[in-house]
Structure 1
Amino acid sequence: MIKVKALGLLFREQEMLVEAYYGKHSKGSGSYYRPLGGNIEFGEHSKVTVVREYKEELGIEVDVNQYL
């Protein structure tokens, strides 16, 4: 089954919020950092996914104002 993810970068002043994660990655396994986000639910827009994930994980409201 293919899973599609949406990830969001949150900037405040000169800082960027990322999640510390431990697991397998392209260089083997160990610690790494990644943007917060999650799986896009069927029929859901990626913007809605990012807003939902930030609310679920951090309890905060975010606005998506740019796509990369």
Structure 2
Amino acid sequence: MASPPRVVNIGGPGRRRRAVVGLAGVGAGAALVAGVATACAAPAWATVAVVPFWVGALGLLQAREWT
């Protein structure tokens, strides 16, 4: 049985925008974790990086899946 055709709801510019936001989010999360490690802060402060990592993951996944 063949799979149904894929529905695409974003075009090239939207996909590119989501990829850029995804990379920026992952970069911001990495910078936060590096800052916490460099400042010798309590490891609990690294949990703040969850938000940019989440935004980055969503952006990259949406760009990959064209949604």
What TM-score, normalized to structure 1? 0.24
Higher relative contact order (CA 8 A, sep 6+): 2
Q: Report the TM-score when normalising by structure 2.
A: 0.24
Higher strand residue share: 1
Which protein is richer in helix relative to its size? 2
Greater CA radius of gyration, 1 or 2?
A: 2
